[in-house]
Structure formats: C-alpha cells, structure tokens
A and B are shown apart, each in its own frame.
Chain A
Amino acid sequence: MRGLLLTRIRKDYNYQYGIIKTAIDWTVIVYFIIPLLFFTGLFYRSLWIEPPVWFDWFDWRLAALIIALSVLSSRWRTFLYEADSVFLIKRRDQVELILKKSFIYNLVFSFLETGIIIVLLLPFVINFLSVSWLSVVALWVAAASLRVSGKAAFYFTWLKFKGWELQAGVIAIAIGLIIAAFPVVWLSLYVPLAAMLPLIILMAILPVLLKNSLLSAGRILDHGLKEREYKTRLIKKMFSMSYEVDTPPRAKTRSKPWLFGYSQKIFKNAGPQQALAELFIKHYARDREFTYHIMRFFGAAGASGFFVPSGWGYLIIVSFLAFGTVMVLGQMWAQLIDQHAIGGKYKTKDAYFKVRRIFNVIVMVPYLVFAVVYFV
C-alpha cells in the first residue's frame, strides 16, 4: 500500500508512453518533431536577441491571458481506479491517503507545467516588461496557484453537479479564472512579495478546504470514472482518428441528454440530409469534445490576427487552420457514419456527401470573417 500512488503514476506514464509510441515512429520524429523543435528553438532564441515589433501591442495582460487560458485544459488527477470502489471499499484510510498524496502530485505537477509556460514567457517578461527575477518567481507561484485552484474548482464542479448545472459551473469557473488572472499577474509582477504571501497561504490551506470534497473517499467510483476518462483520452483520440477501428462505447453517467431532452426535432422536414445534419448537430452539441477542438481552431485564427503582422503570414495561418478544421470535421463524420455499426451502411449515400460539403462550407465562414476583419 505504501508506494501505491507512485506505482500508479509510473504505470500511467508508461501507459501514455506506450500509446504515443504506437503513433509516433522514426519518420514522425525525423520529419516532424525534430524540425518543429529546431524552428521553435530558433524562434525562441530570436525573441531573446531582438524582441519582435508585435510585443509593443501587448503589456502584462498578455501574460495573464496566456496563463489563464492554459489552466482551462488542465485536469485534476487522483490516480484512483474504478476497481478501488470494490477492492478498497473497506480501506477508506488508504483511499484518503492516496487522495492526499495525489494533492501533492497535482501541486508539484502544476508548478512544473507553469514553469514551462513561464520559461516560454521569459523573453517577453524580462526583455519587454523589464521586471526583476523576484517578479518572475512571484509570477511562477501565482500561475501555479491559479492552475491548482482552477483544476480543483473544475474537478469539484464535476463531482458536485450534473447536466446544465455542470455546464454553467464550468463556464463560470472559466470566466472567473480569466478575470482573476489579471490582478494576480499584475500584483506578482509589480508587487511580488505582497502577491506571493497570500498565494502561499492559499496553497497551504487548500487541502483543508478540499477535505470533504476532493480528498474524501466517499466518492471512490466517481474519482475512478473521472480518472479513467483522463487516462484514456489519448487512446480515445487515436481510436477516433483510426478509420478501421470500431469506436468504443463510452460510459454514461446520465440517462437523458441535457439538450433536446425530449428528442425534439431540429429540422421540420424529414429526409436523408436532414437526418444526417440532425445526427451531427445533436451528437456534437451534447458531446463537445470535438466541438472544443474546432473552437480552439477558431480561437487560434482570431488570436493570430493580433499577433501576426504580415498579411501573407496571416493568410497562411488561417488556411492551415481551416484545413485542420475540415480534417477534424472529417473525423467527426467518420465517427458517426464511416466507422459506426449503424451509420456504416450510409457511407456511400449521396446525401452523406452533400451534407459533409455543406458543413465544410459552414465552418469556413468564421475564417472568412476573420480574414475580412483583418484586412479591413
């Protein structure tokens, strides 16, 4: 029992490494990863040598926004398994020990993750904002505190709420994090000592605050389910990208959908095209994993409008993102039709191709709008 958490962490890393190894062979390393690292390194070096002109457009708020946005994709880990709800049900003390230790893991890991973000931000913070190294340390503490608090808040919301309350909670926390990031980052940059103290106190009392929720053994199964969802995220992505593999069914914790709860129709007319469009819209409105990817593409296109000074550069980026969006859309369709036991037999239907084309055109609209706004 003593080293259970460490064993599980090691197993988890080996598991993720195994998944990555199946997707990345030497050709990907040679033709993609090494050039990417090389050019990223060159770009990063150039930021140190000569700060780019576009740095002028930003102040400390850029750092705050990047730090806040980075928290949105982070996850709280417990390393509990579903099976623990059976085998450790009488050892609540051990479960709580794992949860307490996992708090330390989340804290340390958040410091490491934010450390990387801070290193990437250093040319901007040191060269451009011209703050002291003490401020950099304070920024690191602030970013890590935000990250841990954000992870804990998201996880708590998931444990506590379901359906629309969960959606509302997640949105509220995301907005709260973005708003909180601005004063926290400003204070850590310009009043570093004063900023660090309350944050360190917050980190110290966080375990007490979370004692009855995140660190409680009362919901072992929920912890296990959430952990499995996180653990298998990479393999699920690979499943969804692989055309020849059946899509594995997903465990559901709710029996009714939260949108169109009484199976209301979207389109009045009935026909193959409407059926396919309705299937797509309803499915991805309720399961927003892919939708988030597309939103990120749109977000990247919008944000790069501020960062990229050259018109040609912007056009290339937008074209690349638009292409990426169409690829993601293709995967989304494949999951519903090409790879699916019900939808599979409709993959050669004309209506399917027509609807795919229509959706491809629709997702191009935001890119066109961004491009027009950029050039105007």
Chain B
Amino acid sequence: MLKVQIQSGSYIPNQSTIQHIHFQLHPGELLVMIGSNGAGKSTTLKAIMGQLPFLEGEVVFQKNIRYSFIPERPVFYDELTLQEHLQFIADIEELPEAEWKPRAKMWLEKFQLMKVIHELPGTFSKGMQQKAMLLLALLTKPSLWIIDEPFMGLDPSAVKLFMKLIEEERKRGAGILMCTHVLDTAEKIGDRFVIIAEGTVSAHGTLEEVLSQHGAADLYGCIPEAE
C-alpha cells in the first residue's frame, strides 16, 4: 500500500538531509521507524507526505487509498472548532452522517473531548490536541496510518487506549507507519523496523533480523540513553 524509494531529500537545494531510504508497507502491517533526534525520521515522513521541498526518488501510494497523517506537532485550523474539524473531514471525505456521527461520538467520549467540542483545538493542552488529531484520523477509517511520535504528550491511559486502537486497526487490515522514540513500546507492537541514522536506513527488517544484522547495541545505540 506504500512504497518509498527516496534517493535524497532536503529542505535546501544540494544539502541532502535524508538519502537512500527504501521500504514498503503492506496491509495489516505495523512498520516502526526508529532513530535518535535529528536522525531524519520526521523528514522522511515529510517526504512521504509531499511536504519536503527537494526530493529525488518516489513515494507511491496504493491507488485511491484513504490515509491519515498525524504529525508530531498537532496541527489544526486556527479558527475552526473541534466540531467543525470533524464536520469538515466528514463532508470532504463524503462520509455518510449515519456512519461518522456515532463513531465521532464514541471517540469523543473515550477521549473525554465531548465538553470541548465547540472550542478551538489550538487552545487545548498537548495531550488533548494529540487525542483530537487521533480522533480526526479515526473518523475516516483510513487504510493507511502515518504517525509521527504518537506517544508524546499522551497520559498513560491514553497511551493504553492508543495501543489498543492500533491493534484494532491492524486487525482491520490497515497499514501503519509509525515514528517513535519509545523503543520498548515499539518492540512490543512493531512487525518490522526501519532504523534511521544520519539520514539513511542503517537496518531494516523484523526485530530478530535487525538484531542479528546489527546487534542489540546498534538498535539501542540509536536511542539516546535519556530517552
């Protein structure tokens, strides 16, 4: 459902930030991209989303696929309430009202966002914003999830809820590409791993394959101790 073949990509011409990044994502698979700060994970996601100004290579999505992107820093329309965000996504995706409204209500209650539905998400706390982003993504029932640092700002119960949700989505057949620093969680839920270091793929495969190729030190070495 997603094929990434990036030769090089950058924010400034001729100064490549990422290079030689190749991987594929299949339905029902959770691919975890791991790397230390500044390794190039978020830049890779930006390249996939077509937001990197200079890109050599190609990113191929399965035809007519419905995907959702959850950036590291939640982004909303400054002047739209949460309800209006939901309405916008539902209308533009042409979702039947009978389908999206109950789903939205259920997730609003689960995430405890019902009381702020008529407020501007830009004023929410970090965790609430992250939940609202998830909610917007959930609304469309995407076949492909692209998630950047999903655990940042979430409280433990929300992390638990999120993990459950990811599992359900995977069972439903959705492909998930996730960037994270939280290695122990990633280890538990990931099917395959892409280790990014210095802007390129340093290891790729299942956990066993990555460990056998590069050893545990290499896998853990890409994550700073403090994290």
Contacts and interface: CB of A to CB of B under 8 A. Distances in A.
| B is a partner of A | yes
A257 B136 contact: no
Contacts of A282: 79-80, 84
A342 B123 CA distance: 17
Contacts of B75: 246, 249, 340-342
A283 interface: yes
Contact of B76 (A246, A260, A278, A342): A342
A344 B146 CA distance: 14
Identify which of B51, B53, B71, B92 gathers the most chain A CB atoms within 10 Å of its CB. Answer: B92
Contact of A351 (B79, B88, B92, B116): B92
Contacts of B92: 272, 275-276, 346, 349, 351
Contact of A252 (B69, B116, B118, B123): B123
Interface residues of A, number: 37
A270 B77 contact: no
Interface string B115-143: 01111101100000000000010000000
Interface in A305-347: 336, 340-346
Contacts, number: 96
B91 A275 contact: yes
B78 interface: yes
A188 B23 CA distance: 75
Nearest to B54: A244
Contact of B83 (A249, A252, A263): A263
A254 B53 CA distance: 34
B120 A270 contact: no
A216 interface: no
Contacts of B49: 341, 344
A279 B122 contact: no
Given A252-B120, A255-B123, A287 B79 contact: yes
A332 to B, nearest CB: 12
A343 to B, nearest CB: 8
Contacts of A344: 49-51, 69
Contacts of A351: 92
A271 B51 contact: no
A177 to B, nearest CB: 28
A336 B97 contact: no
A286 interface: yes
Contacts of B118: 256, 261-263
A188 to B, nearest CB: 42
Contacts of B67: 345
Given A263-B87, A341-B49, 11 more contacts: A252-B122, A255-B123, A256-B118, A265-B87, A271-B91, A279-B80, A282-B79, A341-B69, A342-B75, A342-B89, A351-B92
Top 7 nearest A-B pairs (CB, nearest first) are: A275-B91, A263-B83, A286-B79, A244-B53, A341-B75, A275-B92, A255-B123
Interface of B: 49-51, 53, 67, 69, 71, 73, 75-81, 83-85, 87-92, 94, 97, 116-120, 122-123, 136
30 contacts: A244-B51, A244-B53, A249-B76, A250-B122, A255-B116, A256-B120, A257-B79, A257-B120, A263-B84, A263-B87, A265-B87, A271-B91, A276-B92, A278-B84, A278-B88, A279-B80, A279-B88, A282-B79, A283-B77, A286-B79, A336-B77, A340-B75, A341-B71, A341-B75, A342-B136, A344-B49, A344-B51, A345-B67, A346-B92, A349-B92
